[in-house]
Structure 1
Amino acid sequence: MLMCSKHITAHSRLVMLDLISFVVLLALCLPCVHYFSKARTRRRLPLPPGPKPWPIFGNIFDLPKDKPWVTYREWSSDLIYLDLPQQPTVILNTSQAILDLMEGRSKLYADKPPMVMDELLNWDWNFAFMPYGSEWRATRRTFHQHFNQQAAQKYHPIQTREIRVFLKRVIAMSNENKILDSGVVSQTFAATILDIVYGMRIHDFSDEFVSLSRKAVECLVISRLPGVFWVEYFPWLRHLPSWLPFSSARRFAAQYRHLVDTAHHKAFDALQDTATNKAAAPSVATTLIHDLRNQPQDTEHYKQSERAARDATGVAYAAAVDTQYGVMLHFFLAMVAYPDVQKRAQEDLDFFVGPGRLPTFEDSASLPFIQAILLEVLRWHPIVPLGLPHRAFEDDEYRGYSIPAGTIVMANTWAMLHDPKDYPDPEAFNPDRFMRDGALNPEVRSPVAAFGYGRRICPGRHLATESLALMIASILHVFNVEPTEDDVSTGTTTGLFSYPEKIPCRLVPRSQAAVDLINAESS
């Protein structure tokens, strides 16, 4: 009986162990079963609606050639699926869809798709295009350290100086009609960012580093036009000899790649030499280089830090100019198309700033209507109307539709910022939509979407908006923006960046006192 009892006890223990093992195994397996069941369900879910694809070519021939952001909105669907070879793409077409996915599920959509043209042009070091990962985090962390909202304040003296130099350049323009030279606008932002990033003082738009930045961004804008280079959809085309048809991507890359490399490295390399003997002017790059000097150089950490420093400063140098330049061009267009807005802003400037000085950053709180003008410019014509492409990390579902892992997801920022539910009469330029009782209305959705979304939102937006607001205030304080044509067109170009088709305006001093003030304060 004793032996039998022992066997029963042992058997009971084995049964108990088996039961416990089964429960543990079940607990471990259930999440997997749930995941694969959900994955199968997602595969059974339909893809978002979109045009019927062609065999092999998918929807390549359906890509809109002119202002695709407008066409996509006219297709009237929250989500649009484009079956593109190697690049299945979903367009998010409404505020709700964009915010639900890009903000509400930002981790899932923080990745970026690798682009063949970025690699061929050597633009893949730009952290705006990097896949989500350790290299991206290191570069963005370096950039954010020097361009976050608090850090950006130390660059106010440089920004103020260059904006006042711009005012003086306008006064000195040789043409009698004072027709705006858009190159002077671009030069202002180039001079500002080159001083901040590399400690360089720029006095001429033909300066080598201004030209390098302009050409490097020019090739980027062209290369990212959907449908321009089929190598994005058929990557094997990159291996064709450049003299064969369908190898235009290789020929284009061969033309520009050296310029991109030079823009990326030349200024940083030059500073590495001068920073050693402390001859370089203070700048973001010299600070980073001095920090690198204190690290052991034969380590992987040093290599990563050096690469992050080089890439972060290169992005600031190459990307900041064209975006701010575009915003200012749209501002000038708005002023000639809506003169009442200009008059209202000048009344505020006359009252809060007065005739005896130029605006400063300290005036910002007293000039909410100037801030509202900037917000409306960003909303009215966002510079990157379709945003930059993101990529889904894993399978997702939204509103009964499947978004498979690896799908490129693009937010129609223009459609979001022209949603009449959020912005009544969205085609009109109306800064008052952001105002209430003489102050900015916090209940109106900010057009921060113009700077991107979620974890990939532009980290340089604070520096940009501060520069833009002060430049707008300074221009309106001393100049009238007048049209040069009777019929002002508000049309825009098509591309990665969207600019006005033309800028039919001139800057005319409001008075001789304004001229004297410019000469006195910009000397």
Structure 2
Amino acid sequence: MAALTLLTIIALVTLGYFIKKALSPAPPKIPKGLKQLPGPKGYPILGSVPDVPQQNSHIKFAEWGKEYGPIYQCDLAGSNHVWISSDAVARDLLSKKGAIYSDRPHIPALLHDNRTSAEYLPLMSKNPHWTRQRKVATHIMRESQNSQFYRYPELESIRLLKELIDEPLKYNHALESFVSRVTCRLAWGHSEASDELKQRARELLISVSPTGHLGNKLPFIMSLPDWLSPAKAWEKKRQRTERRWFELMQSQVEKDMAEKRASPSWMRTLKETWDKWGFTYDLEAAFCVGMHGIAGALTIAAPMQSFCLAMCHYPQYLPILQEELDRVCGDRLPTAEDRPNLPVLRAFIRETLRWRPPVPTGIPHFLIQDDEYNGYHIPAGSVMHPLEWAIARDPELFPDPDAFNPLRWLEPEYPTYREPLTEFPNITNITQFGYGRRLCQGQAVADEDLLIGIGAVAWLFDMKKVGVEAPSSGIYSNKEATISEEEIRTPSQHDSVMDSDDEKPESKTKLAPGLLQEKLEEQQRLQKEQIKAEKKKVDPTLDYSHLLIAKPLPFKFDLTIRGNMSHRAQLVEKLFQEKREEGEFTDGKNYWGDNSGKFGWVKV
């Protein structure tokens, strides 16, 4: 049965390929004087798909970059993908030539075309909706930033610490809830919708990820009837629920404003300036705000989780951060005003984003016309990937790039050091936020959330691996995503049985030479098998999800209140109770009941 299913899938993929080839124009010839970009040859029909692992595919693409150069191309099931592993090349193309490189590729799994509809601002091509919504985003982000984001990150940091005190094993949930609650408050002035926002983000992430929704792997299934395509039915309910929820959230803000009790929010700011934007329909604004909410919920929690991972594997740095927080903040939680005096905290944030970029393959661009670069032809229709994993590992700029080292931003001997330390390091306009006309407009929100959130966690807690002490650096080889062979001692002929506890020196001479040689060879065989088994172990700091936004999978570690800091935990408890009594920390809201109706959560 499994074999039949596999053959059916292969047949359908093959049929789809030939249909696409028949309907598509012939590939353009390379202009005279130009060369084709280098890259792996791949296989018929599938291209290089069989060579790309689903887990940590960015590492494979980075390896190809070392083999073929800082810009290369590969065929992925009939689509041409261009991978850029150099910041300089990415800026030359995606920023300086933004007029032709700023479109987005089509995402087959979405019911409404992401390029032309007004529903997915980060995924839209350049059109009137995109231009209008970018202007709206600039306005609402500037207004909230000027108001210190209405102190929502500082408020929610109290609830974050309270949840970590009560249930440290649920750190993943607490960190994601912190980001989601702040984002909900910013978008609509309420925090009780945070669970719904997280679910909207999870579902959309599946729909837009190449390795997520089946419709992105087999696009033809989105043209089938619902009863023949469960994946299409899944997407219909997701999109229907998303639209309805955005409508409900916008209506709630309108009601709050009518009753003179609306908290500051992006939607309130938008409604107060409604006439200047010229929206073509009412829900365009709902999607504009909603997509910013989803984008925040998707991306900001990932580096907070990566920070915890880094502290477990590089524990020598945490005391440096805690010393700064104690000196600057004392027995109060970090605030926005502390930013100039917290260069170490900012270095930790900058290094976390470099060490484990939340979008390691980069958000793709789409080339709308033929181009050339350094003698190479880049054909129109290419999907362009600024490969953040490789860009953040340039060894000239980042010595020992695979190691987490926040000092590279604080000590003058490193090429990344900049002054004044009251301003640098920072994450403004770093490559992880995109290039050119696609630069993320919510980066200031991310910066504030990370400063307050990570600062609060380090202010109160110690973090360490469970059991064995973690290595400080250098033990893992990210090139192959395995434990470094240098850490495994290969036995020599003077080792093996003769040095084991169960063979005494006096018994060695009692073994016949042939038997001794046989035992020696057997021991060496076992040692080689052990080495192979160790090499197959995946670096635990690379145990990440495989969707477009990469998050470290939940792992166990000790999260405990710092020694002699119990009074800080008591302060958090006191602040939490006060805010709870003031009505700030309300419980989450269920919008759809048991999810069995027309609207609701779909399985992820």
Does TM-score exceed 0.5, indicating one fold? Answer: yes
Query: Within 2, Cα distance between the matches of 1:91 and 1:152?
Result: 37
The question of whether the paired residues in 2 share the 8 Å contact of 1:271 and 1:285 is answered with yes
Equivalent of 1:491 in 519, 542, 557: 542
Identity within the alignment, %: 26
| TM-score, with length taken from structure 2 | 0.71
Counterpart of 1:508 in structure 2: which amino acid? T
Equivalent of 1:357 in 290, 309, 332: 332
Are 1:183 and 2:167 counterparts? Answer: no
| TM-score, with length taken from structure 1 | 0.81
Q: Which residue number in structure 2 is paired with residue 388 of structure 1? A: 363
Tell me the secondary structure at the aligned position of residue 273 of structure 2.
helix
The question of whether the paired residues in 2 share the 8 Å contact of 1:329 and 1:503 is answered with no
The question of whether the paired residues in 2 share the 8 Å contact of 1:120 and 1:253 is answered with no
Q: Which residue number in structure 2 is paired with residue 170 of structure 1? A: 164
Tell me the secondary structure at the aligned position of residue 185 of structure 1.
helix
Query: Within 2, Cα distance between the matches of 1:211 and 1:512?
Result: 30
The question of whether the paired residues in 1 share the 8 Å contact of 2:46 and 2:78 is answered with no
Are 1:472 and 2:461 counterparts? Answer: no
Map residues 234-383 of structure 1 onto 2, 5 A cutoff: 235-244=219-228, 247=229, 249-292=231-274, 302-304=278-280, 306-354=282-330, 356-383=331-358
Equivalent of 1:219 in 196, 203, 215: 203
Tell me the alpha carbon deviations over residues 429-479 of structure 1, each in whole angstroms, 9 at most, x when there is no partner. Answer: 100001136998228997611111111111000111112112222221222
Query: Alignment length, in residue pairs?
Result: 466
Seen in structure 2, the aligned counterparts of structure 1 residues 142 and 90 have a Cα distance that, compared at 3 Å, is same
Tell me the secondary structure at the aligned position of residue 310 of structure 1.
helix
Are 1:100 and 2:92 counterparts? Answer: yes
The question of whether the paired residues in 2 share the 8 Å contact of 1:221 and 1:495 is answered with yes
Query: Within 1, Cα distance between the matches of 2:270 and 2:46?
Result: 47
The question of whether the paired residues in 1 share the 8 Å contact of 2:33 and 2:375 is answered with no
- The CA RMSD measured in Å over matched residues stands at 2.9
- For residue 369 of structure 1, report the CA deviation from its aligned partner: 0.6
Tell me the secondary structure at the aligned position of residue 373 of structure 1.
helix
The question of whether the paired residues in 1 share the 8 Å contact of 2:160 and 2:174 is answered with yes
Map residues 135-214 of structure 1 onto 2, 5 A cutoff: 135-148=129-142, 151=145, 153-173=147-167, 178-202=168-192, 209-214=193-198
Counterpart of 2:291 in structure 1: which amino acid? V
Tell me the alpha carbon deviations over residues 186-218 of structure 1, each in whole angstroms, 9 at most, x when there is no partner. Answer: 11111111112111133xxxxxx3333222222
The question of whether the paired residues in 2 share the 8 Å contact of 1:180 and 1:506 is answered with no
Tell me the alpha carbon deviations over residues 116-162 of structure 1, each in whole angstroms, 9 at most, x when there is no partner. Answer: 21335989612100012221111111112111387354315221111
- For residue 52 of structure 1, report the CA deviation from its aligned partner: 2.3
Tell me the secondary structure at the aligned position of residue 225 of structure 2.
coil
- For residue 520 of structure 1, report the CA deviation from its aligned partner: 4.2
Map residues 60-139 of structure 1 onto 2, 5 A cutoff: 60-75=49-64, 76=66, 77=68, 78-84=70-76, 87-119=79-111, 125-139=119-133
Are 1:505 and 2:505 counterparts? Answer: no
Query: Within 2, Cα distance between the matches of 1:353 and 1:273?
Result: 39
Seen in structure 2, the aligned counterparts of structure 1 residues 309 and 102 have a Cα distance that, compared at 3 Å, is same
Query: Within 1, Cα distance between the matches of 2:342 and 2:113?
Result: 43
Query: Within 2, Cα distance between the matches of 1:487 and 1:392?
Result: 48
Equivalent of 1:426 in 397, 401, 423: 401
Counterpart of 1:91 in structure 2: which amino acid? W
Query: Within 2, Cα distance between the matches of 1:137 and 1:215?
Result: 28
Seen in structure 2, the aligned counterparts of structure 1 residues 505 and 259 have a Cα distance that, compared at 3 Å, is farther
Q: Which residue number in structure 2 is paired with residue 519 of structure 1? A: 573
Q: Which stretch shifts more, 318-327 or 226-235? A: 226-235
Gaps of 5+ in 2: 1-27, 471-539, 579-604
Tell me the alpha carbon deviations over residues 70-122 of structure 1, each in whole angstroms, 9 at most, x when there is no partner. Answer: 00111122222122456322111223322322233233311112212133598
Equivalent of 1:412 in 350, 366, 387: 387
Seen in structure 2, the aligned counterparts of structure 1 residues 45 and 263 have a Cα distance that, compared at 3 Å, is farther
Q: Which residue number in structure 2 is paired with residue 455 of structure 1? A: 437
- For residue 291 of structure 1, report the CA deviation from its aligned partner: 2.7
Query: Within 1, Cα distance between the matches of 2:425 and 2:100?
Result: 24
- For residue 407 of structure 1, report the CA deviation from its aligned partner: 1.4
Counterpart of 1:505 in structure 2: which amino acid? F
Query: Within 2, Cα distance between the matches of 1:230 and 1:57?
Result: 16
Tell me the alpha carbon deviations over residues 14-39 of structure 1, each in whole angstroms, 9 at most, x when there is no partner. Answer: xxxxxxxxxxxxxxxxxxxxxxxxx9
Tell me the secondary structure at the aligned position of residue 83 of structure 1.
strand
Seen in structure 2, the aligned counterparts of structure 1 residues 57 and 515 have a Cα distance that, compared at 3 Å, is closer
Q: Which has the higher contact order (CA 8 A, sep 6+)?
A: 1
The question of whether the paired residues in 1 share the 8 Å contact of 2:257 and 2:268 is answered with yes
Seen in structure 2, the aligned counterparts of structure 1 residues 233 and 395 have a Cα distance that, compared at 3 Å, is farther
Counterpart of 1:421 in structure 2: which amino acid? E
